Amino acid sequence: MQKKLAAFLFSTRLTAILFIVFAAAMAVGTLLDASSETSPTPYSRELIYNAWWFEAIMVFFVINFIGNIVRFRLYKKEKWATLILHLSFILILVGAFVTRYIGYEGRMEIREGATENVFLSEHTYVTAFIDGDYMVDGVEQRRVIPPKKVRLSERLDNNFSITSDYNGIPVTIAYKDFIKNAKESLVEDDNGEGYLKIVESGGGEKHEHWLQIGQVANIHNILFALNNPTEGAVNITYNETDGSYKMSSPFEGSFLNMAELSAAGIQPGQAMANVEQYQRPFVKDSVQTLMLRSLYNMADMQFVIPDPLTKGRQGVVKAEGLEKTNKDGLILEVSSGKETKTIELLGGPGTAPDPTKVTVNGLDVFLTYGSKEYELPFSITLRDFIAEKYPGTEKNYKSFKSKLTVSDSETEFFDTEVFMNNVLDHKGYRFF
């Protein structure tokens, strides 16, 4: 009797210790993610949730629960209540292992009225393939490198490398840097090309664009050209000799010299009567001096060219201030033979970017950083999306509901709804 009591106390203490450690680990993980909008983050996953010791705790849980069932004969009728409790914990933990090691998660974005059958993985991968001059039966051969799963964070040591070869020629891809909340922009470089920065609000939001000398850019369906006269475009001319700027436009417009407004103590957002006297016309199809740091208004677009011509190259940089890009930057070094080149990738979770090419040692190496694409054996149409707000609020939402049509074929389909605590289960997939 004393042995049974001692065994019971030991088992109870072990279970209590495991629960305390488990709860403490999750609490620490929550604190680590306190400054993040999403949880868990790669940082907390790497340190806690995907760590071997965290999984070991769950394994000990299962072993302990099974041991209790056998040792204390919980399968007897009078102990079924305790048996059900133990079996529930075992089922939850086994389900967690199945989800992690057999199943996979992802995100499926569907616009209202659209149909999709592809979703993007939760995990991110570096994918690569190599093209060269190796031929078989007149067909150029491609070396596809298995995707490398990566979990990157500014707070982690992200070092990794991928080694492969193309027809016996070694190729190495190595981590160099990671940029959270990144975007593609201009990186200043005295040896680079000349660019003009255009800041516009044609789509209702502020955006930055870089216009390269000799190129034409489409900004909200309006063409802008720099030193490349183009019919129907807003043509900007830069004179390298004297540093002057000229502009012609196929649209009538006006502009405000911000320096004059500032000197007069007037802000652009003030009453129009205070600003009108400083507003100057921009005549259609005429060549006029381009005033830097002036607010131009034409073709339902407002834009400013704030700075003189800048020399640089397009690259991946960290977004400034509160700007959210929902993308990250990954900088890699690709080496083959005696040649090493740097390549900058823009991607991250929930993205499926096109491959970026770098040529090294005569080989074309294509790389992407983002999620895997998975194709479903059926398609889903979003008929209607309903977001219900709390009364008297504009940004706080009470509930969400998606009205869906699931199609297995042209003749086999059904309608359903997905909302809180009402999930869609179909052919081994679960949608929340």
- Closest by CA to 355, choosing from 345, 84, 400, 188, is 345
pLDDT value at 170 more than 70: yes
Phi and psi, residue 25, nearest 5°: -65, -45
Question: Which alpha helices (DSSP H) does 264-365 contain, by range?
Answer: 272-276
DSSP letter (8 states) at residue 355: P
Q: How far apart are CA 198 and CA 289, in angstroms?
A: 16
pLDDT digits (tens, 9 = 90+) for 398-424: 899 999 999 998 889 999 999 999 999
Q: How far apart are CA 38 and CA 249, in angstroms?
A: 45
Residue-level pLDDT at 269: 54
Whether residue 25 contacts residue 54, with contact meaning beta carbons closer than 8 Å, is answered with: yes
- Closest by CA to 328, choosing from 159, 167, 150, is 150
**Where residue 279 falls among pLDDT bands split at 50, 70, 90?**
confident
**Where residue 6 falls among pLDDT bands split at 50, 70, 90?**
low
Residue-level pLDDT at 416: 96
Q: Tell me the DSSP string of 179-201.
A: ESSEEEEEEEEEEEEEEEEEEE-
- Amino acid, res. 67: G
- Exposure string over 375-384, b if 16+ CB within 10 A, otherwise e: eeeebbbbee
Residue-level pLDDT at 309: 94
Phi and psi, residue 329, nearest 5°: -110, 140
Residue-level pLDDT at 274: 59
Residue with tokens 């048996």, as numbered in its chain? 83
Q: What average pLDDT does the segment 50-72 reach?
A: 89
Q: What is the CA radius of gyration of the chain?
A: 30
Look up residue 1 and give its two tokens: 């009797």
Q: How far apart are CA 168 and CA 223, in angstroms?
A: 48
The number of angstroms, rounded, from the C-alpha of 95 to the middle of its chain's C-alpha atoms is 28
Look up residue 310 and give its two tokens: 């800048």
Q: What average pLDDT does the segment 63-86 reach?
A: 89
- Exposure string over 298-312, b if 16+ CB within 10 A, otherwise e: bbebbbbbeeebeeb
Whether residue 130 contacts residue 334, with contact meaning beta carbons closer than 8 Å, is answered with: no
- Amino acid, res. 224: F
**Where residue 257 falls among pLDDT bands split at 50, 70, 90?**
confident
Whether residue 400 contacts residue 387, with contact meaning beta carbons closer than 8 Å, is answered with: yes
**Where residue 245 falls among pLDDT bands split at 50, 70, 90?**
very high
- Amino acid, res. 130: I
Residue-level pLDDT at 270: 52
pLDDT digits (tens, 9 = 90+) for 321-379: 888 899 999 999 999 999 999 999 999 999 999 999 999 999 999 999 999 999 999 99
Look up residue 176 and give its two tokens: 């160099």
The C-alpha angle 426, 428, 432, rounded to 5 degrees, equals 60
CA atoms within 13 A on the CB side of 147: 15
Q: How far apart are CA 178 and CA 152, in angstroms?
A: 7
**Where residue 265 falls among pLDDT bands split at 50, 70, 90?**
low
Residue-level pLDDT at 72: 84
Residue with tokens 């707070």, as numbered in its chain? 155
Q: Which of 13-17, 57-61, 62-66, 158-162 has the lowest mean pLDDT?
A: 13-17
Q: Are strands 161-166 and 169-179 parallel, antiparallel or unpaired?
A: antiparallel
Dihedral of the alpha carbons of 83, 88, 93, 98, in degrees to the nearest 10:
120
pLDDT digits (tens, 9 = 90+) for 38-56: 778 888 988 999 899 999 9
**Where residue 272 falls among pLDDT bands split at 50, 70, 90?**
very low
- Exposure string over 10-25, b if 16+ CB within 10 A, otherwise e: ebeebbeeeeeeeeeb
Phi and psi, residue 177, nearest 5°: -160, 160
**Where residue 271 falls among pLDDT bands split at 50, 70, 90?**
very low
